[in-house]
Structure 1
Amino acid sequence: MKSEEKIMSSPSRILCERLRQRIVSADEAAAMIPRGANVGMSGFTGAGYPKAVPGALANRIRTLNTEGGQPFRINIWTGASTAPELDGVLAEVDGIEMRLPFQSDPICRDRINSGKMEYVDYHLSEVSQYAWSGFLGKMDIALIEVAGIREDGSLIPSSSIGNNKTWIEQADKIILEVNSRQNAKLEGMHDIYYGTALPPNRKPIMLTDPADRIGEHYLSCPIDKVIAVVETDAPDRNSPFKSPDDVSKRIAGHILDFFQREIEIGRLPKELLPIQSGVGNIPNAVLEGLDAGPFKNLTAFTEVIQDGMLKMLKSGTLKVASATAFSLSPDGIKEFDTNIDLYRDKIILRQQDISNHPELARRLGIIAMNGLIEADIYGNVNSTHIMGTRMMNGIGGSGDFARNGYLSIFVSPSTAKNGAISSIVPMVSHVDHTEHDVKIIVTEQGLADLRGLSPRQRAHAIISNCAHPDFKPALMDYYERALHSGRGQHTPHLLEEALSWHCRYEQTGRM
């Protein structure tokens, strides 16, 4: 009998007798996490994060900090963003000293930007290497959600993998949350690769197609490391999917027209190339447009499976999707659970140092589509900071794909804050993706193809095609005056005005 069948017929998801003896309450497990610990937690875009122990730990921290003495804080490393039940509750009690590598929680964001929490923003593909190399220090405890434990102690991964493999290998001690709400039929959908190594011992990763399986279905876990097992029954926390608005549809339309032209020219095959898509309304609009178009037998090599990808897999537009996690709405989760037998043969979940690996992005020729906060007239992109200083979420995996993919497409509405802010500015207030890595910029106004263009040619393309009409004359005026300023004409700038738009917004509320 397969472990999936055993789990479905058993009152417990824990089939390993030695680990059944280590079942404790969430409060008991939380008491095992010491002050100042480096804790690696599972979770990626609101999927597969621990649901019970973080809340119990937050209650413990609140009590201890009320009693006075040295503040109780820990350092948290994850795969990416998690959910209020983890980031939110621990940030609320001021229980996080350091957070990495990506977050999207509003309480965390507030504490980061007020200087009350340290935050390190890494490319997601590099986090595992940083941990293995010792750059982050020693990991004391790993807190990992799984869908089940097999008789030999190996772990059935949950709805995300993220950095779980590395955390289990690196941690001195491990706490497992076994979540019976996760579908038992997730078993077999994962592909855990144990062939990575640090320089100079690296070997090529033998993956040449998004459908390739190169690893194992299960996470290896030393039983002696496991100090506690907590049983839970709680859903992943994800937001309802919003139907694409008119702006998102227009952006999607520009991208789809671009794909068609590239196919006609012969620079893309009719099946396109593997798609990577960030999370959000605009990416889902692009996915819906692809599903409604003439495209068939597409593939995805990305970070997350969104609602739009489920629709594409079901319709046959998308034949396979490789990712490290799900990011589904409640309706999407219901659809996945109802039709999991269809999806399990078309979805592969990998650890994030494989799903985001630069070697694979370059080899596969990824078409990367990610969001931006602002772009400047020469093609530099800021995707993380508001007005240059305030962290939004983090760079995530966008840099992994932008620099190494075949096409790097950045998308955004042309304005924000009801027209008070232009997404196209003279100079970005923070740079995450330089002009050398950005190939396409798209707003609802149009698409600027920057390939093969000099800085001055890029400026004309971006201002003409992507800027909102309310800001286009001012942008062109800035460029023309910079061009004739005598400071140099390769990348013309007026240094005294380059960030004046941001200053004006902070002073008046409008750029």
Structure 2
Amino acid sequence: MSSPRILSSALLARVCSADQAASFIQPDMTVAMSGFTGAGYPKAVPGALAGHIEAAHARGEAFRINVLTGASTAPELDGVLARANGITMRLPYQSDPLLRDKINAGEMEYLDLHLSHVAQHAWFGFFGKIDVAIVEVSGIREDGLLIPSSSVGNNKTWLELADKVILEVNSRQPAGLDGMHDIYYGTALPPHRVPIPLLTPGDRIGEAYLRCDPDKIVAIVETDAPDRSNSFSPPDATSRQIAGHLIEFLRHEVAHGRLPAGLLPLQSGVGNITNAVLAELAEAGFKGLTAFTEVIQDAMLDLLENGTLSVASATALSLSPPATLRFAEEIDRLRERIVLRPQEISNHPELVRRLGCIAMNGMIEADIYGNVNSTHVMGSRIQNGIGGSGDFARNGYLACFMSASTAKGGDISRIVPMASHVDHTEHDVSVIVTEQGLADLRGLSPKQRARQVIANCAHPDYRPLLEDYFQRACSNSFGKHTPHLLDESLAWHERYIRTGSMKP
């Protein structure tokens, strides 16, 4: 028996079915799985495991597990396990609708976590023992080293900490991924840490392959399945307006000597607005840019191909179906310009601060003082999670948060008197952008920030209401430093829940 993707003769004997591999997982185990933004997640074993869980439930037996990943995965992992009611605790980030509904219904525990914290918290023992790791790779070399897949995420840590390892070898992943990765093994626990020797986004400081003790590998499953592709809509008028405001701001910063002509390394969250911003960078004539970010998405791939971007460092791909095909076709050229790293490096606060990243992320809402909510709808319903936005916002050179000024056909204002949940405090937010305009909050006091946010970012339907709230708060608040009317500060959210609109 041989496989073109499994070249280690010593490991060929461990090739088995997904059903056989899933039998190594027992109730109440903590299972760490690969996957980051729908890339590089296991495609077969989670589904087989869900079948085992459903069978156990049919027999009246309890069977649930704790699931750790890099970030969001796909229906073949989060969806099937949620449908089987097979998860007790999930962390650190998710985007599956069924899983989200289970969390918000109180049927599953969820720990939202800064992505840079996950690996170190696992090493600290905060999550308890990791019983099994299920990791997708694109191949196994003759010497047993593992060729990583389309995401790295926390795979290095999972392989090191887990008692048992199940590998999925996915032949659908391009063979040309071999050599694109940089796996750094120089991290340590306090007090033994040393500086990470990375000075530019393109630096390679580690190894091209993942290591794994072969004695821990209990099963290898061969798959041939695509990643969950993201679909990005062409930029609409609102996204283009937001992008235009931010590009104008960046040009202003270059003109005033606060940014170099090639900017500083870019970090971009996933989504249509950030894709629009990246697309506008080429139109604006920027050259020689770099990226130190979490994901390579469509627009970033475009920038690499047209020369606007010279190099991009990330931990995963997040591409649409057409971009996935282009990536595979151009992989030999892109291999020298894309570096895929563990997320403990791609999101490392020390490196984000050292490189001076420009962070560009979406938001659910912002309040007039610059506090940003990026995770909870109406303060209590989780959407996806904080992801890596906090890693970059607190530590980057600029923290830019973007959103349309309204949602739900105008019934929700994204600019509110007080954020119903705060992920990024006013201390970490540099710039807020909507299609209405941009508020530069640097160097401003709370009341100065409020005037900028209301004037530049609020929708005209809500601007007079915010002005009225702010003026009355300045006169009647308990304190005048950050004026609030506590009996009204969350009234807009309460009104939406009660009536379906924030408008009075």
For the superposition of Structure 1 and Structure 2, which TM-score range results when normalised by the shorter chain?
over 0.9
* Residue identity in the other structure for 1:381: V
Q: Secondary structure at the match of 2:219?
A: strand
The answer for unaligned runs of 5 or more in structure 2 is none
Corresponding position of 2:384: 393
Does residue 65 (structure 1) correspond to residue 57 (structure 2)? The answer is yes
Q: In the alignment, what sits opposite 2:9?
A: 17
Aligned to 1:159: 150
Mapped partners of 1:291, 1:306: distance in 2: 15
Aligned to 1:325: 316
Partner of 2:242: 251
Q: What is the CA-CA distance between 1:11 and the residue it aligns to?
A: 4.4
User: What is residue 207 of structure 2 aligned with on the other side?
Assistant: 216
Partner SS state of residue 279, structure 2: helix
Contact 2:477 2:484 in 1 (8 A): no
The runs of at least 4 aligned residues of structure 1 exceeding 3 Å deviation read none
Which of 96, 99, 103 is equivalent to 1:112?
103
CA contact (8 A) 2:379 2:421 kept: yes
Question: 2:297 matched to 1:293?
Answer: no
Q: Between 289-298 and 470-479, report the one with greater CA deviation.
A: 289-298
Amino acid at match of 1:24: C
Alpha-carbon deviations, 1:88-144, whole Å to 9, x = none? 000001001100000000011000011100000110001001000001100000000
Greater displacement, 457-466 / 289-298: 289-298
Q: Note the alpha carbon deviations across 1:367-426, whole angstroms, 9 max, x for none.
A: 000010000000000000010011000000000000000000000000000100000000
Pick which of 117-126 and 233-242 moved more: 233-242
Match of 2:35 in 1: 43
> Does the 8 A contact of 2:50 with 2:84 survive in 1?
yes
* Alignment check: 8 A CA contact 1:291 1:311 kept: no
Output the CA distance in 1 between the equivalents of 2:339 and 2:260: 23
CA deviation map 1:324-361 (0-9, x unaligned): 00000001100101111111110000000000000000
Counterpart of 2:76 in structure 1 is 85
In 2, the alpha carbon distance for the partners of 1:134 and 1:424 equals: 39
Taking the TM superposition and a 5 Å limit, the aligned residue runs for 1:229-378 are: 229-378=220-369
Distance 2:463 2:232 in 1: 33
TM-score normalised to structure 2 length: 0.99
d(CA) in 1 for partners of 2:23 and 2:133? 14
Q: Does 1:427 align with 2:418?
A: yes
Whether 2:156 is the aligned partner of 1:177: answer: no
Gaps of 5+ in 1: 1-9
Q: Distance in 1 between matches of 2:353 and 2:425?
A: 18
Q: CA deviation at 1:152?
A: 1.2
Counterparts of 1:228 and 1:507, CA distance in 2: 53
1:443-481: CA deviation from partner (whole Å, max 9, x where unpaired): 000000000000000000000000000000000000000
SS of residue in 1 equivalent to 2:11: helix
SS at 1:334 equivalent: helix
Amino acid in structure 1 at the alignment position of 2:139: G
Give 3-state SS (helix, strand or coil) of 2:136's partner.
Answer: strand
- Structure 2 letter corresponding to 1:110: D
Aligned counterpart, 2:431: 440
**CA apart distance, 1:486:** 4.8
> SS in structure 1 opposite 2:410?
coil
Of residues 450-459 and 231-240 in structure 1, the stretch that sits farther from structure 2 once superposed is: 231-240
Contact 1:377 1:462 in 2 (8 A): yes
Does residue 415 in structure 1 map to residue 406 in structure 2?
yes
Q: Determine the C-alpha separation between the residues in 2 that align with 1:495 and 1:238.
A: 44
What SS does structure 1 have at the residue aligned with 2:302? helix
Which residue pairs with 1:3 in the alignment?
none
**1-side partners of 2:484 and 2:166: how far apart?**
54
* Alpha-carbon distance between aligned partners in 1 of 2:29 and 2:332, rounded to the nearest angstrom: 41
Deviations 1:56-78 (A, max 9, x none): 11111111111113x21110000
Task: Kindly indicate whether the alpha-carbon contact (under 8 Å) linking 1:240 and 1:331 is maintained by their aligned counterparts in 2.
Answer: no
Residue in structure 2 matching 1:74, options 62, 65, 69: 65
